[in-house]
Amino acid sequence: MGVRSSTWVSALLVLLGLAVVGSVVPAPVVALGPGPTFDTLGEVNGRPVVSAEGLPTYPTGGHLNMTTVGVTDGITPLHALGLWASGTHRLAPRSSLYPPGQSPEQVTANNQQEFDSSIANAEAAALNHLHLPTRLTVGALTEGSPSAGVLEAGDEIRAVAGTPIPSVQALLDALGAARPGRPLHLSVVRGGTPREVTVTPAAHPEDPARAFLGITPATSPAEGQRLSISLGDVGGPSAGLMFSLALVDKLTPGPLTGGRFVAGTGTITAEGQVGKISGIPFKMIKAKEVGAEVFLVPADNCAEAAANTPDGLRLVRVGTLDEAVAALRTLDTGGTPPACT
């Protein structure tokens, strides 16, 4: 075999090796793209996404779709290149979603915790928007909570150290005056029965000088009333706005959407503030694919959304739950709500 032939064979073997590696060995990246979307006014797996018990509810219409970002993990370099070339996906370092030292299970658990907090905030925001009576309850206990065995999920907290506790903020204020290691007396109601309990707070993981009860406080409706948000296999906080809107729609007369197909995204606080999210271009792509006419955009995402708007999708700028409700009612009456420009 001549030198030239030998060189070509070597080159082909190298290329073949690279092709094999590129199609088998996982790349240290993930692909982000359009993820699943769910109508918060509808059902998933035979269960309503949003429901209410003990409160008057009303028929709804149209759609209020929450949107997600899809994550493709374990991809090879060739697969990654193909997704990137499609124009509908973006590549990101795998470590940005799966930090070193955290297992996939831990990441999933963190995402689920954010989702659970989002649900609690969505319910509180809807209750506050509708000016309905509320109670402060224990939404959940954290792992290894100092309140374990003393408090239970669903307990209503009436007072801390004799001070009435009507809201989450009041509880945070009361904890600001408490100290780790010093017993704290709480007045609670469990199953309709008042009781006095004592919890010894631990040091807060982020500030050892602060008291930590190890509970997730929740704003709940009055006794005998219940709100429920159920959507499996979804994590993160960005569906909060759409959950709140679905609750408002079901608890008020007349379809909030005016029969339109509305989609959107945004975190929400218990006070109804709508927060910035990531991946909005992918969410808009999916919304347009499934037929959305209107997309609700957090105010802080407006510039990015306006620069990546799919043709025919109307962007509506919202900074609070009140603004989102007002914008949909404005659309229903033929008006022009605030837009992203």
Shared-domain flag, residues 234 and 318: yes
Question: Does residue 231 sit in the same domain as residue 322?
Answer: yes
Per-position pLDDT tens, the chain of length 341: 444 455 554 444 444 443 444 445 567 788 888 999 999 999 998 899 999 999 999 999 999 999 999 888 888 888 778 877 877 888 888 777 778 877 777 777 777 778 888 888 999 999 999 999 999 999 888 888 999 999 999 999 999 999 999 888 899 899 888 999 999 999 999 989 999 999 999 998 888 899 999 998 889 998 889 999 988 767 778 899 999 999 999 999 999 999 999 999 999 999 999 999 999 999 999 999 999 999 999 999 999 999 999 999 999 999 999 999 999 999 999 999 999 98
* pLDDT at site 18: 37
Domain range for 39 is: 33-70+102-129+227-332
Torsion of CA 251, 290, 116, 240, to 10 degrees: -60
CATH of the domain at 215: 2.30.42.10
Angstrom CA distances, 62 to 11, 25, 246, 260, stand at 60, 45, 11, 5
Residues 232 and 318 in one domain: yes
Examine the fold and report which residue of 187, 221, 255 is the final residue of a domain before the chain moves on.
221
Number of folded domains that form the chain: 2
Which of 163, 190, 221 terminates a domain? The answer is 221
pLDDT at 266: 97
194 and 251 share one domain: no
- Same domain assignment for residues 231 and 125: yes
Looking at 173, 192, 221, the residue that finishes a domain is 221
pLDDT at 318: 98
The Cα–Cα gap between 292 and 289 comes to 8
Contact 140, 216 (CB under 8 A): yes
Round to whole Å and give the CA distance between 65 and 41: 8
pLDDT of amino acid 41: 97
The answer to whether position 89 is within a domain reads no
**Distance between CA atoms of residues 78 and 26, nearest Å:** 10
Query: Does residue 239 sit in the same domain as residue 107?
Result: yes
Task: Report the pLDDT value the prediction gives residue 7, as an integer from 0 to 100.
Answer: 53
Both tokens assigned to 177? 């005056």
Q: Is residue 239 located within the same domain as residue 323?
A: yes
Same domain for 163 and 309: no
SS (H, E, C) 132-171: CCEEEEEEEECCCCCCECCECCCCEEEEECCEECCCHHHH
Q: Residue 306 and residue 317: Cα distance in Å, rounded?
A: 10
* Residue 23 belongs to some domain of the structure: no
| 175 and 62 belong to one structural domain | no
- Which of these, 137, 127, 119, 140, lies nearest to 40 by C-alpha position? 119
Between CA 65 and CA 76 the distance in angstroms is 32
Domain shared by 53 and 107, yes or no: yes
- At 110 the pLDDT is 79
Q: Is residue 5 part of a domain?
A: no
The residue among 122, 213, 125, 203 whose CA lies nearest residue 165 is: 213
156: in domain: yes
Question: Which CATH number covers residue 265?
Answer: 3.30.230
Predicted pLDDT at 26: 65
Q: Are 61 and 259 in contact (CB under 8 A)?
A: yes
Residues 281 and 237 grouped into a single domain: yes
